[in-house]
Amino acid sequence: MKLPWLKPALERSGPFTSVHLDTTRTDPHSAAELETRWSQMRSSLAADGAPDDLLTRIEETVLSPSPIGGRHGRTIIATDDEILIDRVLPVPPLQESVHRGESPQLLPLLQLTPFAVSQLLIVVDRAGADLHLRAPENPSIAQGPNGLGADDTVEGGHDELHKANLGGGTQHGWRANNYEARVEDSWERNADAVAEKVDRIVREHDPDMVLLSGDVRAMSLCKDAVGREVRERLQEVSGGTRGVALERDSFREVVARTTREFIDERQRALSERFHESQARDGASVGGAREVGQALDRGQVEELIFVSGTEPDGIESVLRRAILTDASVSALEAEFDGIPEGVGALLRWRDEATPSNRIGSMSGDTQREDAVEPEREEPSPRAEEEEQLRS
């Protein structure tokens, strides 16, 4: 995942105050708990030298009621004079944390990169569509600004929508057929209007997922009308109705389940890409020392770390990756298999690139011998074959 918005903050001078907080406020009880946790964090930051006026500004941000529903979190990174990063998190941080130091604390934020999924939800009927855009920094697809402004609804403008029985016997058959043809034409023209808007949004915002729901016939027409770039990321979800889809718990659960499946598949693909590159062409390295060497040489295209098994010094590794314009992605523990919890996909490699053999990653000569044993004496099998030949 590219993080260009984070790099400018790393180029500033400290000290930095970093806050990673679960800001879920689903009921009065959770709101009161949030206030208590923040009070304790504020005291800790004040004891470490954070200015009182800065802490007051942060407090106003994290305790103000948010339009975002459901579970979510917040990351704030600030110098003593300015809040540099104020990021809504799609899920709460794995562990709440506050930190005061010469460098910002990044790990609690970057552990959540798997959940940074952007989506365009299209709920269609035969007259038009409702459009909802969810970006990683605005994780609520149901509440709050959706990034589309006035473009959140498309009305096709063709209002012959319902087929009707005109009655009157066979002499009216031509009239019925003509009317039904006009209705079909209205549906198709409305679908074209929706598709034109959807194609433009996808080109401009490049969402990871496009979800389509609503009237079955309208969905079919919309699928046929959108461009290839939309079709390649389109997934159908059932149960959506224009105007009320996101008010229904059952539909939000379907969207959440579909999103979770997408996240799992993307995590699996990233893990497989790392291992395949090792086995095939050595276009990746694993292990803290080897990744550090690759970062020093500007070779890292994408840094990958496993949440919960990060090596010592991971904060420095994350900063160096971002400052060299590398992508950063976290893998959840179930997709582990990367030596020492950190690896890198490389932009290029040469003879000086650290070896990507499992043994060489560890610096353990016994493991290297286990991978490529160098025996001075022949194996028992080799001795038997030599005796047979003689």
H-run or E-run covering 177: helix 173-205
Which residue intervals of the chain bear CATH 3.30.1330.30? Answer: 267-356
Which residue intervals of the chain bear CATH 3.30.420.60? Answer: 119-247
Other C-beta atoms within 10 Å of 388: how many? Answer: 7
Residues facing residue 104 across a β-bridge: none
286 contacts 338 by C-beta, under 8 angstroms: yes
H-run or E-run covering 153: strand 153-155
CA atoms within 13 A on the CB side of 168: 9
What is the C-alpha to C-alpha distance for residues 79 and 350, in angstroms, rounded to an integer?
40
Question: What's the CATH number for 119-247?
Answer: 3.30.420.60
DSSP 258-309: HHHHHHHHHHHHHHHHHHHHHHHT--EEESHHHHHHHHHTT-EEEEEEETT-
Q: What does the radius of gyration of the chain's CA atoms come to, in whole angstroms?
A: 28
| CATH class of the domain comprising 267-356 | alpha beta
Residue 71's pLDDT is: 83
Relative to beta strand 300-306, strand 342-346 is antiparallel
What is the C-alpha to C-alpha distance for residues 137 and 6, in angstroms, rounded to an integer?
13
201 contacts 133 by C-beta, under 8 angstroms: yes
**Sheet (strand 327-331) strand order:** 284-286, 342-346, 300-306, 327-331
- Rounded to two decimals, the pTM is 0.78
251 contacts 239 by C-beta, under 8 angstroms: yes
CATH number of 7-115, picked from 2.60.40.420, 3.40.1280.10, 3.30.960.10, 3.40.190.10? 3.30.960.10
Which residue intervals of the chain bear CATH 3.30.960.10? Answer: 7-115
pLDDT tens per residue across all 390 residues of the chain: 889 889 999 999 989 999 999 998 888 888 899 999 999 999 999 999 999 999 999 999 999 876 666 788 999 999 999 999 998 888 899 999 999 999 999 999 999 999 989 899 999 988 888 898 876 654 443 444 445 443 467 776 545 444 444 444 444 454 555 556 666 678 788 888 899 999 999 998 899 999 999 989 989 999 999 999 999 999 999 988 888 877 788 888 899 899 999 999 999 999 999 988 877 777 889 999 999 999 999 999 999 999 999 999 999 999 999 999 999 999 998 877 788 999 999 998 887 777 655 444 444 433 333 333 333 344 444 444 455 444
Residue 276's pLDDT is: 87
Selection from 219, 226, 235 nearest residue 202 by Cα: 226
